[in-house]
Amino acid sequence: MRRLARGVTIVWIGLRYGLDELVLSSFRQPWLRALTRLLSLGRDLSAPRGQRLREALERLGPLFVKFGQVLSTRRDLLPADIADELARLQDRVPPFPSAVAVASIERAFGKPLDQIFVQFDQVPVASASIAQVHFAVLRDRKGGEREVAVKVLRPGMLPTIEQDLALMRMLAGWVQRASAEAKRLKPLEVVAEFDKYLHDELDLVREAASAAQLRRNMAGLDLVLIPEMFWDYCTPEVIVMERMKGVPIGQTARLREAGVDMRKLARDGVTIFFTQVFRDGFFHADMHPGNIQISLEPATFGRYISLDFGIVGTLTEHDKEYLAQNFTAFFRRDYKRVAELHIESGWVPRNTRVDELEAAIRAVCEPYFDRPLREISLGMVLMRLFQTSRRFQVEIQPQLVLLQKTLLNIEGLGRDLDPELDLWSTAKPFLEKWMMNQIGPQALLRQLRDEAPRYAKLLPEIPRLLVEFLRQGSRSQRNDQQMQLLLAEQRRTNRLLQAIIYGGIGFALGLLAMQLWFRIRLF
């Protein structure tokens, strides 16, 4: 019943904000346009369509706000007015009352607010779908003061998310049972992945731990800044972190005026992404413009500032190697190797013909090489790849959904920063270097170095292990000799038994023959 009620609510909100009119008006058929005008009667749809869509997503809750955030980065797929409105979902979701935030902080730390902070800004600096952020000045235990950002979880999140996820699971089940084509897309597994990441976002300690891991991983790259976490003030509902000062990456005019090299910035973003994915297997998976700033401080001028680590992605060594080989083969236009990798990984049936899959992939990808991003319609590429995957029964990999989403975010950012950016040529040298590190001499030395502690522990034990081996060998040899003697004795016994049996049979036959001979003589 709750799912039904939530479904009715979604339909009602969609009708209230005229989302049906927004969808139907995009069709050119006259009868659909007439239906649109008929359905619009009696409703006030005077507000711009982008505003109505944004407000509807805000009313529907965090799950739909997340959906809008992803859409807002795809300006090549959306009209400008809708993209501009959805961009407001990045960090301008209506905030919850500051009194509620203060109550959450005092409950989490068990102290009045003024005993924790010298200063606390009541007006939030950012408000997103899951939490909002306030700037403050923390009382240091050593008597000093630190500028910090305080992130507070939005209250009452869990029940709403559970309802929406239950509805999504129900709809995904219907879709999966509807056809074999839908089943191939694994909608239930995709929803399960989305469920996991949303629940991870509701635990702010997990977010703080992810930020600390990324901070360690990126320490030597000198391209990105990640805030330090203050662990004495981190709880599941509230976390306190270092305050970062930068310009939102979406304010490109301001960045250009400050002298930031936009082309270098675009290339650095690609480098950061591929480093996190292929070197570390641990990447920031929510890289929309609201979570990225650029530092203008003299010591860190032009560096990225990453924020909001509620969603991170992880890849196994097998995933990284498979993806790197695929990317490298794509960059080299080795479509045969791409087809072979799809078959080896089990993404397509084993009986798929390599030459047919190779030709299909070539037809999709070849027209888009050596073009700047502004000339590439990713929507068309994805549509053709989907058609190809449907023909060859490619199975969607749910564990890579976050990676695909993040790659779309990176491409959207790259387009805004440098429309001439060639994503392929920028990433190719990095991936080739990474592959050499994985399979070349450095990989062998690294493996030996990693195994050295275990070898050092085994080295003193080698004499004892050798003696035990020789003893086992001698015991085994004696056992073999005893076994041979037993087998020889058994063979001798078998021959004796055979002689006795055959002798008995011969003796009986002899007696029978003598009796017959005497009877013949008598007659």
SS (H, E, C) 380-424: HHHHHHHHHHHHHCCCCCHHHHHHHHHHHHHHHHHHHHCCCCCHH
Is the pLDDT at 190 greater than 80? The verdict is: no
Determine, yes or no, domain membership for 260.
yes
Closest CA to 379 of 78, 51, 12, 62: 78
413 and 319, same structural domain? yes
251 and 333, same structural domain? yes
Question: What integer is the mean pLDDT of 266-295?
Answer: 87
347 and 494, same structural domain? no
Question: What integer is the mean pLDDT of 9-14?
Answer: 78
**Lowest-confidence region among 4-18, 331-345, 400-414, 447-461:** 447-461
399 and 301, same structural domain? yes
Per the structure, how many domains does the chain have? 3
518 and 430, same structural domain? no
378 and 302, same structural domain? yes
Question: What integer is the mean pLDDT of 361-382?
Answer: 67
Residue 287 identity (one-letter amino acid): M
Is the pLDDT at 362 greater than 60? The verdict is: yes
Maximum mean pLDDT: which of 22-26, 429-433, 488-492? 429-433
270 and 390, same structural domain? yes
**Lowest-confidence region among 185-194, 367-376, 505-514:** 505-514
Determine, yes or no, domain membership for 252.
yes
Domain limits for position 262: 247-439
**pLDDT higher for 51 or 373?**
51
Q: What angle do CA 481, 484, 489 make, to 5 degrees?
A: 130
Is the pLDDT at 103 greater than 90? The verdict is: yes
Question: What integer is the mean pLDDT of 58-69?
Answer: 76
What pLDDT is attached to residue 36? 58
Active-site position among 286, 308, 418, 422: 286
How is 188-253 classified by DSSP, letter by letter?
A: HHHHHHHHHHHHHHT-HHHHHHHHHHHHHHTTTTSSEE-PPEEEEEE-SSEEEEEPP--EETT-HH
Q: What angle do CA 188, 192, 198 make, to 5 degrees?
A: 140
Question: What integer is the mean pLDDT of 279-296?
Answer: 88
461 and 429, same structural domain? no
Phi-psi region of 313 (alpha: psi -120 to 50; beta: other; left: phi over 0): beta
Q: Buried (b) or exposed (e) across 474-499, using 16+ Cβ within 10 A? A: eeeeeeeeeeeeeeeeeeeeeeeeee
Token pair, residue 138, equals 């923390």
Using DSSP, state whether 442 is helix, strand or coil.
helix
Q: Buried (b) or exposed (e) across 181-211, using 16+ Cβ within 10 A? A: eeeebbbebbbeebbebbeebbebebbbbbb
Determine, yes or no, domain membership for 242.
no
Determine, yes or no, domain membership for 157.
no
Give the helix/strand (H/E) hosting 110.
none
Is the pLDDT at 518 greater than 50? The verdict is: no
Determine, yes or no, domain membership for 414.
yes
Confidence class of residue 112 from pLDDT cuts 50, 70 and 90? Answer: very high
**pLDDT higher for 74 or 125?**
125
Determine, yes or no, domain membership for 187.
no
- Of the three residues 62, 87, 112, the one that is the final residue of a domain is 87
What pLDDT is attached to residue 82? 81
pLDDT in tens, 246-262: 999 989 899 999 999 99
**pLDDT higher for 484 or 49?**
49
Is the pLDDT at 389 greater than 70? The verdict is: no
Is the pLDDT at 31 greater than 90? The verdict is: no
Q: Cα 157 to the chain's mean position, in Å?
A: 23
Rounded to an integer, what distance in angstroms lies between the CA atom of residue 153 and that of residue 428?
40
Phi-psi region of 418 (alpha: psi -120 to 50; beta: other; left: phi over 0): beta
Catalytic status, residue 286: yes
% of the chain exceeding 90 in pLDDT? 23
Do 311 and 200 form a contact (C-beta atoms < 8 A)? yes
Residue 314 identity (one-letter amino acid): T
484 and 400, same structural domain? no
426 and 386, same structural domain? yes
Is the pLDDT at 174 greater than 70? The verdict is: yes
Token pair, residue 235, equals 């709880």
- Of the three residues 42, 60, 87, the one that is the final residue of a domain is 87
Is the pLDDT at 175 greater than 70? The verdict is: no
493 and 408, same structural domain? no
Query: What is the sign of the dihedral through the CA atoms of 296, 299, 303 and 305?
Result: negative
What pLDDT is attached to residue 117? 94
- Of the three residues 87, 102, 132, the one that is the final residue of a domain is 87
Determine, yes or no, domain membership for 63.
yes
465 and 433, same structural domain? no
Question: What integer is the mean pLDDT of 210-231?
Answer: 94
- Any residues with CB less than 8 A from the CB of 431 and at least 6 apart, and which? 274, 278, 324, 327, 328, 331
Is the pLDDT at 80 greater than 80? The verdict is: no
Determine, yes or no, domain membership for 186.
no
Rounded to an integer, what distance in angstroms lies between the CA atom of residue 231 and that of residue 209?
9
